[in-house]
Chain A
Amino acid sequence: GAGVSQSPSNKVTEKGKDVELRCDPISGHTALYWYRQSLGQGLEFLIYFQGNSAPDKSGLPSDRFSAERTGGSVSTLTIQRTQQEDSAVYLCASSLGGPVTHYGYTFGSGTRLTVV
């Protein structure tokens, strides 16, 4: 597609439920990233995928968070047993090139997650 597509755009869930957030990167972009933006906070790195390499999961805040990328394209971020502190905007970005690249990032519009 022309841009990075994320769905849903908004999600309200009850505490303790599981949620899945989807990201469809720009066609041909081999690198995909998830970031989190909490209210009044900066952007926090969560996870990075590059081609078929093992993902860098060093930013995931707890084992309730997991992500996968199928076929080197679409990615799903799953949060199990959601907590109120998980409420944030989850942003996905994609980029051309490998781990070290001079290309910039293109971000999606984000998924606003609210845990009640």
Chain B
Amino acid sequence: KQEVTQIPAALSVPEGENLVLNCSFTDSAIYNLQWFRQDPGKGLTSLLLIQSSQREQTSGRLNASLDKSSGRSTLYIAASQPGDSATYLCAVRGNDYKLSFGAGTTVTVRA
């Protein structure tokens, strides 16, 4: 069974600092990995999707890397802003088409 772990569970930084969120998974036989953002009381918003053959994806201030062989992904958010405060979820898609989610990292960016 795929196990997904996110470290740290919570992170508080001053505005302008770069954020580094870590995700690890136990089974490297994945099809893709997706990072989501969840605001309190809301659904999930997709941030980045990395296919198993890719090493990284970038969108604006966001960059996600994937090292499938070691079972790791890292989400970098450059020059953080208070609007980046949210819970960030990592999810891996295995060959059984289900997404396995981590418990999330709750980020607070202080103005």
- A-side binding surface: helix, strand, loop or mixed? strand
Q: How large is the interface on A (under 10, 10 to 19, 20 to 34, 35 or more residues)?
A: 20 to 34
Chain B contact residue count (CB 8 A cutoff): 22
B32 contacts A102, C-beta separation under 8 Å:
yes
Within A24-60, the residues touching B (CB, 8 Å) are: 31, 33, 35, 41-43, 45, 48, 50
Taking the complex as formed, is B89 at the interface, i.e. its CB lies under 8 A from any CB of chain A?
yes
Which residues of the partner chain B approach A99 to less than 8 Å between Cβ atoms? 97
- B-side binding surface: helix, strand, loop or mixed? strand
Number of A-B contacts (CB under 8 A): 51
Contact of A104 among B41, B42, B49, B89 (CB under 8 A): B49
A12 and B96 alpha carbons, distance in the complex (Å):
34
Taking the complex as formed, is A100 at the interface, i.e. its CB lies under 8 A from any CB of chain B?
yes
Which residues of the partner chain A approach B44 to less than 8 Å between Cβ atoms? 91, 93, 107
A93 and B42 alpha carbons, distance in the complex (Å):
14
Point out residues on B near A: beta carbons under 8 Å: 31-32, 34, 36, 41-46, 49, 51, 89, 91, 95, 97-99, 101-104
